[in-house]
Amino acid sequence: MTILIKSGDPSSIQQWQSLFSAHLPKLTVRWWEDTSVDPNSVRYVLVWEPDPGFLGQFPNLEVIFSSGAGVDHITARDPDYPKHIPLVRMYTPESAQHMAEHVLMCCLMATRGFAQATHQQQQQTWHTYETPAIASDITVGIMGLGNLGLHTAQYVHNAGFKVIGWSRSAKHIPFMDSYAGDEQLSTFLQRSQIIVCLLPQTSETQHILNAQTLAQLPKGATIINVGRGTHLDITALKNALDAQHLGYAYLDVFAEEPLDTQSWLWTHPQVIISPHVAANAPRTARVAYLSAQITAHESGQTMQNIYSPELGY
């Protein structure tokens, strides 16, 4: 049986092969552009942004693995992908921990005013400034309480921040207040001095952070978007930043990636950019996860984190 890899660059295939051999020695691992591969032998694929039509050319394909936690890079890019085949999202404890640490870093940077220090360094300016708040003074609102959201919420809470959450359906979480649905969104927003977007990409969550919702955040609030670029209306963001209603925006995801070199986001003094790295797990962790999923599938057990078209994640 063969798995095709479209994740990373061609030079990574030897590492993928070495890592898989430790878990599934009978699995043949090939790069997706390897023309020597018999399409009939391909039973699994691991992909990031597959070319349209790519996934439909393997008659014996059994599972599609997403190289990331989301699947929109597959479902939107190739709307005709074979929908009868399970599409499995990537989730590892390491990716959850990476996400939690990234979000906590942003929360601490916002609380300590670190963006100002960075700006002053670029200007070679020495000017002391106050950081009147500590973590326990700040309420962090987590939008999206799935695996990543819950782990992040717990981690930020453990660091001393007050944490609240919002999701489409009600959750009961001992260490934080949880809000649900459109009717409770305003209350959630009004309490969130730092807001973290970790929602899945669905038709309901597109531009959920817009002029109306951003206006309901407290003055000086910070945005941390580590969900999907389409969650945030960047025109509304610019207006809120320029009006000084929002303090800073920490952005790891964008509607179009790589981010256009001409985008105003690169040079705005209140925007801090990272190139979609918040939840990057090492290949060792991803291979361990994939191998466990393949083993479960081969033995007739249910795989984890299967994409549901009805739910949108």
Instruction: Verify whether residue 119 is a known catalytic residue.
Output: no
Of the residues 23, 77, 245, 276, only one is catalytic, namely: 276
Give, for 139, the enclosing helix (H) or strand (E). Answer: strand 139-143
Q: Decide: residue 311, CB within 10 A, 0-12 exposed, 13-18 middle, 19+ buried.
A: exposed
Alpha helices in the chain (DSSP H): 13-23, 72-75, 93-112, 114-122, 147-158, 181-191, 211-215, 234-242, 283-298
Q: Note whether 247 and 221 are within 8 A (CB).
A: yes
Tabulate helix, strand, coil % of the chain (nearest 5): 35, 20, 45
Return the residue matching tokens 């030897």. 14
From 98, 228, 231, 286, active-site residue: 228
Residue whose C-alpha is closest to residue 139's, from 110, 174, 114? 110
Known active-site residue 228 = yes
CB burial of residue 188 (10 Å; 0-12, 13-18, 19+): buried
Which strands form 271-273's sheet, in the order they lie side by side?
177-180, 162-167, 139-143, 194-197, 221-225, 246-251, 271-273
Known catalytic residues are: 228, 276
